[in-house]
């Protein structure tokens, strides 16, 4: 932090001395963030690949076990995340306009919505625990034919939603940092790159959920 404060006196706000100008720095950060999101797509892509393989191998078992997913919570959580994307976008807009108070409020809203999502996720996980649907030695399944195969769906369910939830936790931490930085007047209409970058991250995490919800909860139940 120290050196950026020193240079802040000499250069435009937030400009690091190995960049020519703010524009170059902003473009670099944005490109870097997109490349990072690309790696995230590949990361989740591995699991989506596995999911595709097993859904094709065991369609009946998957149809049977997706009936145990809690659709009301899942649907409500989907709405929560979509709203949080909106508040995040509004936060970025506020940062652009240099409106500190509005910025902080929208960041707080986003954070609260994120926490609501995570809280409901805990409720869902607890349900699975009670029903012995956590993969492993304690796993039980109502339909004995599908014991192993259903376990794979739950394995994927926990891997995918778990990874997603971990990204949400990280996102919540980042939002908290943003709120503190905003409160300390670190952002201005001339420099608010972190808000924009973390906004991109937040939208990405939301989009992952938009794919997870239908794949894990909705498809195949009516079979």
Partner 1 sequence: MWAAPSRWGWLNLLTPKGLFAHDTYNKLFTMHGIIMVFFFLVPSIPATLGNFLVPPMVGARDLAFPRINLLSWYIYIVGGIFAITAIVRGGVDTGWTFYAPFSSTYSNTHVILAAIGVFVSGFSSILTGLNFIVTVHKMRAPGMTWSRLPLFVWAHYATSLIQVLGTPVIAITIVLLGMERVLHAGIFDPALGGDPILFQHLFWFYSHPAVYIMILPGMGVISEIVACFSRKSIFGYGFVAFSSVAIAVLGFLVWGHHLFVAGQSMYASMVFSFISFLVAVPSAIKVFNWTATMYRGSVSYDTPMLYAFGFIGLFTIGGLTGLFLATMAVDVHVTDTYFVIAHFHYVMVGGMVMAYLGGVHFWFPKITGRLYPEGWAKFAALVVFVGFNLTFFPQFVLGYLGMPRRYAAYADEFQILNVMSTAGASILGVGYLIPMIYLAWAWRYGPKSPQNPWGAKGLEWEQSPTPPPTFNFDVPPVMNEPAYNYSGEEKEVEIGR
Q: Which window, 78-86, 105-113, 136-144, 170-178, contacts partner 1 (CB under 8 A)?
A: 136-144
Distance CA 197, CA 90 (A): 14
* Out of 2, 35, 130, 144, the residue judged to bind partner 1 by CB under 8 A: 35
DSSP string, 60-74: HHHHHHGGGS-HHHH
Contact between 159 and partner 1 (CB under 8 A)? yes
DSSP 99: -
Q: Which window, 22-30, 72-80, 110-118, 181-189, contacts partner 1 (CB under 8 A)?
A: 22-30
Contact between 32 and partner 1 (CB under 8 A)? yes
Give the contacts of 131 (CB within 8 A, at least 6 positions apart): 68, 140
Distance CA 103, CA 98 (A): 8
| Shortest reach from residue 47's CB to partner 1, in Å | 6
Distance CA 127, CA 140 (A): 13
Distance CA 139, CA 31 (A): 44
Contact between 155 and partner 1 (CB under 8 A)? yes
Contact between 196 and partner 1 (CB under 8 A)? no
| Shortest reach from residue 160's CB to partner 1, in Å | 10
Give the contacts of 135 (CB within 8 A, at least 6 positions apart): 151, 152, 154, 155, 158
* Out of 7, 12, 13, 54, the residue judged to bind partner 1 by CB under 8 A: 54
Contact between 136 and partner 1 (CB under 8 A)? yes
Distance CA 222, CA 147 (A): 20
Chain contacts with partner 1 (rule: CB under 8 A) = 16-19, 24, 27-28, 31-32, 35-36, 38-40, 42-47, 49-50, 53-54, 57-58, 134-137, 139, 148-149, 151-152, 154-156, 158-159, 163
């Amino acid at each position: 932090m120290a050196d950026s404060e020193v240079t802040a006196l000499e250069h435009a706000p937030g400009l690091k001395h190995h960049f020519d100008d703010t524009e170059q720095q902003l473009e670099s950060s944005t490109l870097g963030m997109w490349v990072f999101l690309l790696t995230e797509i590949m990361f989740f892509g591995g699991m989506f690949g596995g999911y595709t393989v097993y859904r094709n191998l065991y369609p009946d078992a998957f149809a049977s076990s997706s009936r145990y997913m809690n659709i009301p919570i899942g649907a409500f959580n989907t709405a929560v995340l979509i709203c949080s994307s909106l508040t995040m976008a509004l936060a970025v807009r506020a940062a652009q306009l240099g409106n500190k108070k509005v910025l902080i409020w929208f960041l707080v809203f986003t954070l609260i919505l994120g926490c609501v999502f995570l809280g409901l996720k805990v409720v869902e996980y607890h349900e699975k625990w009670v029903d012995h649907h956590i993969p492993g030695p304690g796993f039980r399944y109502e339909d004995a034919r599908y014991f192993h195969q259903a376990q794979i769906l739950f394995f994927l369910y926990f891997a995918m939603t778990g990874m997603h939830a971990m990204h949400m936790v990280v996102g919540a931490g980042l939002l908290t940092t943003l709120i503190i930085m905003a409160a300390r007047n670190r952002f201005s209409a001339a420099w608010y790159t972190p808000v924009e970058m973390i906004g991109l991250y937040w939208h990405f995490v939301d989009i992952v959920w938009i794919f997870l919800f239908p794949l894990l909860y909705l498809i195949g139940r009516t079979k």
